[in-house]
Each structure stands twice: as C-alpha cells, then as structure tokens.
Amino acid sequence: MVSREQIESVLGRIRPMMQADGGDIELVDVLGNSAHVRLTGMCAGCPSAHMTLYMGVEMALREEIKDFAELVVV
Amino acid sequence: MKAPGAFSPDNVVVGHSARMRAIFDFVKVVSKSDSSVIITGESGTGKEVIANLLHHSSSRRHQPFVAVSCALFSENLIETELFGHERGAFTGAIKDKPGRFEMAQGGTLFLDDIDDVPLSMQVKLLRAIQNRTVERVGGTRSINVNVRVITGSKRDLKKMVAEGNFREDLYYRLNVLPITLPPLRERREDIPVLTDFFFKRFARERGIETPDVSSAVRYAFSRYRWPGNVRELENACERIVQTCTCGTVRTGCLSASVLFGAGDPVAAPSTTELTAGEPTAVSLEDRLREVESNLISWALKVSDGNKSRAAELLSIKRSTLGDRITRCGLQEAHHAQAPAADASEDEPIAAIA
C-alpha cells in the first residue's frame, strides 16, 4: 500500500518551483497504489503541461515508491 | 558532413563567463594558424561549434569544412571513411570513393570523438596527418592532402595516453593548440543569455512571438545541472517553444528532469559520496559554486529578496553579494522576488561577428 506521505514527499520536491509560478500540484486522493492529482494555476489548462507533468511525475513516483501503480490527473 | 552555409558565426553565443570569453579570444588568435587544434569537452559543450568557428574565421573559410564523428564507424569502416577506397578494394567497392581527408582538400577536417578511434587506426591517422598524404584502401598511390585537422574529444586524451588507450605520438601531433570547453554547469552565468537566444531562435523558426519566461523557470534553469550541456538546454528550449500554448514559459512547461533536478536541495548528481572506494573525479569549482548558489538562494528567500539583509545573513558585503548573484546566474531568478533591488544587468554579448 502506498502512503499519502510517500507521494507528498515526491510532489514536495517540485512543489516550490510550481508555486513560484502561481501553480500547484495537489494530491486529491490515494486509491490503492495510485495517486490522483490536480494541477492548479496558470498551467492547469495547458495540455502540454499536463503531458509533461503526467509523464515526469509518474516516472518519479515509480522510481521512488516501489509499489506505485498509476498517476491520474483529474 | 555539414551542408555549406548551415553555420554562421553570427549564431554563436559567447555569453558572460570569463572562461568562454577567453576561449573565443583564443579562437580568434589560432584561427589564423594551420596547426592542429584539439577541442576537449563533455558531450553538448559545443566542440563542433568551435571547430566551425575556427574554420570560418580562417583563410580556409571558402574551402570545405568536413566534420566526421569517429564514433560512428566500425574499425574497418573508419579507414575507408577517412581515406577513401579504390574500385574493387573489397566486395561492394564498385567505384572509387574519396575519403573525408580528400573531401576536405584545402579546407578543414574536424574529426570528432577522436577518443573512440581504435589503436590500430591511430597509427594510420598519425601517418596521414604527419605526412599530409593519404592512401585509399586498396590503392597504392599517395594523395597529397592540404587540410587543417581539428579533433574533438570528450575524454582527457592525456589520461588515455597514460592508460595505454591512446598513442602518445598521435596525442602530441594533435595537441598543438588545445581548447577545453567547460560544462554548462561550470558557467551558469551564461545560462540566461543562452536561454534567451534559443527561445528567440526557435520562436522565429516557428513563426511565433518570442515567449516571456517566468522567473521561476529562469531559476530552475540556473539550478539544474544540465548533464547534456548546451545541447540539452537547446533541446529543452526547442521542446518548450513547440509545446507552449499560452505565450509564457512557466514551470508547467519544464520537463520533469529539469523540474526535479532544479528542485533538489543540492543537485543530486553532485552529491557523489566521497568514500575510500574507487576514486572518482569531482570538480571542486563546481561543488563550491553549488554550495554558494544554494546559500545565496536561501538567504534571498528568507530575506524576501532584500539583498542588504541577505548579505548580512551571509556575513558578506552587499556589493560582494551582487557580484556573486551574477556569477551564480541567480540574478534573473530573483528579480521577481526583489523588484526594488538594483541588480545591474550587464548587456550580454550576444554574438560575435
């Protein structure tokens, strides 16, 4: 089972940078081994930002959390 | 081989750093000479750019510039690639083919990745460079070649000589005029001017306005380690220009490697453990710069961008702090946080004529 803290600790690494631009990546829910996140701020509506964050953050989560399954951007 | 006209010296960004300025001054001096130049630098630091610049600043500029990566060919192929072959030299050799040396006749031959040339081939290369003649594979005739040879290497050839992987005689033949290109992380002060240059260029190519760049992105760029050097920065800018949908580059545009790499308290790869095991090279300069950059960022952050207060926290003079901020490339990043600060921006030397 993946814990909220584990996911937050990974998100926390990029959060200050995103917040500096008035955005954020919010952890909405942890379901089993998957995390649901929401982008807020200026980049929230940008499909490119969704794509890059989606791929990059998921990869980072998989690298650092052994059982991590999937990242869902809601 | 580079298409003629693809390179323009006007598209070369020099930047602020003393090291790069020194390199460009040196290039101006040695471009007039015909002696061998060896350019050493990590992948993506701009070895071919410098080779091109040398050629285009020399009296050979109206003659061909031939660039070839020695890493591309197998041991057997490299000989025919460089020296050419005669018809019938081997199966499939249906006609005579000149090698790269001959193709560069009168001009400049840039042999990149010289550190990947196998020892057996190094002897032949030495002979060709020393005697200024080549023999095509399968041929008996010596062909005179008048080329200036520039070599590129990502490894320290002197070390390779010591390890027995590179011929000493060839090393001395090549190493007449050495140029060492620093990795981008050792000249972070050049990141802003390079970033602006690339955004402008790619936006022009795409036919859009040059995007604005947020201070957080500039900060991330200044903190990231750029293992792929200028090439990686160039590609990052290209990708962003192609994907940006709102006209302003923000952190959402950044790739995860930059975002995570810049967000780490101390850039991860530099925290190589200093153990008693296998010794690995570390750059003291690089490490110190990172520590400096981290402390200054911290001080500026906790003092809300007030430089006098930040300088107090760091027990240094206000003027010293200003210099160090510029040196670490933090200037742009903290503009937003310190709008009233009097950070004087030097006019960047964008290109050399």
pLDDT surpasses 80 at B276: no
CB atoms B252 and A39 under 8 Å? yes
| Confidence at B47, pLDDT banded by 50, 70, 90 | very high
Contacts of B298 in chain A (CB under 8 A): none
pLDDT at B347: 33
Contacts of A55 in chain B (CB under 8 A): 256
CB atoms B252 and A48 under 8 Å? yes
Summarised one tens digit per residue, pLDDT across range B159-186 is: 999 999 999 999 999 999 999 999 999 9
pLDDT surpasses 90 at B228: yes
Tokens describing residue A70? 């999937």
pLDDT at B283: 66
Phi and psi for B148 in degrees, rounded to 5? Answer: -95, 125
Per-position b or e across B283-315, b if 16+ CB within 10 A of its CB: eeebeebbebbeebbebbeebebbbeebbebbe
Distance of alpha carbon B2 from alpha carbon A30, whole angstroms:
53
Q: Which among B169-178, B278-287, B318-327 has the top mean pLDDT?
A: B169-178
Is-contact B108 B66, C-beta < 8 A? yes
B window 215-244, beta carbon within 8 A of A: 215-217, 219-220, 243-244
| Confidence at B270, pLDDT banded by 50, 70, 90 | very low
Distance of alpha carbon B61 from alpha carbon B185, whole angstroms:
32
Distance of alpha carbon B125 from alpha carbon B118, whole angstroms:
10
Count of H helices and E strands in chain B?
A: 15, 11
DSSP B105-135: TTSEEEEE-GGGS-HHHHHHHHHHHHHTEEE
pLDDT at A74: 83
Tokens describing residue B305? 């961008």
How many Cβ contacts (< 8 angstroms) between chains A and B? Answer: 79
Summarised one tens digit per residue, pLDDT across range B120-139 is: 899 999 999 999 999 999 98
Identify the CA nearest to B101 among candidates B54, B136, B50: B136
DSSP H helical ranges for B224-337: 229-243, 256-263, 284-302, 307-313, 318-328, 331-335
pLDDT surpasses 70 at B152: yes
CB atoms A46 and B220 under 8 Å? no
How distant, in Å, are the alpha carbons of A11, A30, A63, B83, B200 from that of A66?
16, 15, 7, 53, 42
Run of H or E including B98: strand B97-98
CB atoms A43 and B217 under 8 Å? no
Helix, strand and coil content of chain B, in percent to the nearest 5, comes to 50, 10, 40
CB atoms B260 and A13 under 8 Å? yes
pLDDT at B330: 67
Summarised one tens digit per residue, pLDDT across range B55-114 is: 999 999 999 999 999 998 887 789 999 999 998 888 888 888 999 999 999 999 999 999
Amino acid (one-letter) located at B218 = R
Summarised one tens digit per residue, pLDDT across range A18-60 is: 888 888 899 999 999 999 999 888 888 888 888 877 888 898 9
Q: What is the rounded average pLDDT of the residues B241-268? A: 81
DSSP B45-94: S-HHHHHHHHHHTSTTTTS-EEEEETTSS-HHHHHHHHHEE-TTSSTT--
Q: Which of A14, A42, A56 faces B250 most closely, judged by CB atoms?
A: A42
Percent of chain B clearing pLDDT 70 (strictly above): 85
Contacts of A17 in chain B (CB under 8 A): 216, 219-220, 251, 254, 259, 262-263
pLDDT surpasses 70 at B281: no
| Confidence at B41, pLDDT banded by 50, 70, 90 | very high
How distant, in Å, are the alpha carbons of B37, B38, B49, B102, B127 from that of B81?
21, 20, 22, 10, 16
Count of H helices and E strands in chain A?
A: 2, 3
Task: Say whether pTM exceeds 0.80.
Answer: no
* Chain centre distance of CA B182: 7
- Helix orientation angle between A4-20 and A47-64, rounded to the nearest 10 degrees: 140
Handedness of CA B298, B302, B303, B309 (dihedral sign): negative
| Confidence at B204, pLDDT banded by 50, 70, 90 | very high
For residue B178, list its beta bridge partners. B38
Tokens describing residue B62? 């109206």
pLDDT at B69: 93
pLDDT at A53: 78
The four Cα atoms B144, B96, B137, B98 give a dihedral, to 10 degrees, of 40
| Confidence at B267, pLDDT banded by 50, 70, 90 | very low
Pick left, alpha or beta for residue B199 (phi over 0 → left; psi -120 to 50 → alpha; otherwise beta): alpha
Percent of chain B clearing pLDDT 90 (strictly above): 54
Tell me how crowded residue B93 is: count the other CB atoms within 10 A of its CB.
16
pLDDT surpasses 80 at B328: no
Q: Which of A23, A57, A60 faces B251 most closely, judged by CB atoms?
A: A23
CB atoms A42 and B246 under 8 Å? yes
Identify the CA nearest to B257 among candidates A52, A36, A34, A70: A52
Q: Is ipTM over 0.95?
A: no
Q: Which of A13, A15, A23 faces B252 most closely, judged by CB atoms?
A: A23
Smallest CA–CA distance from A57 into chain B, residue: B256
Mean pLDDT (chain B, rounded): 83
Distance from CA of A39 to the nearest CA of B (A): 9
CB atoms A42 and B243 under 8 Å? no
E-only strand ranges, B99-235: 108-112, 133-135, 142-144, 148-153, 177-180, 212-213
Identify the CA nearest to B67 among candidates B45, B49, B80: B49
pLDDT surpasses 50 at B272: no
Tokens describing residue B299? 């001080």
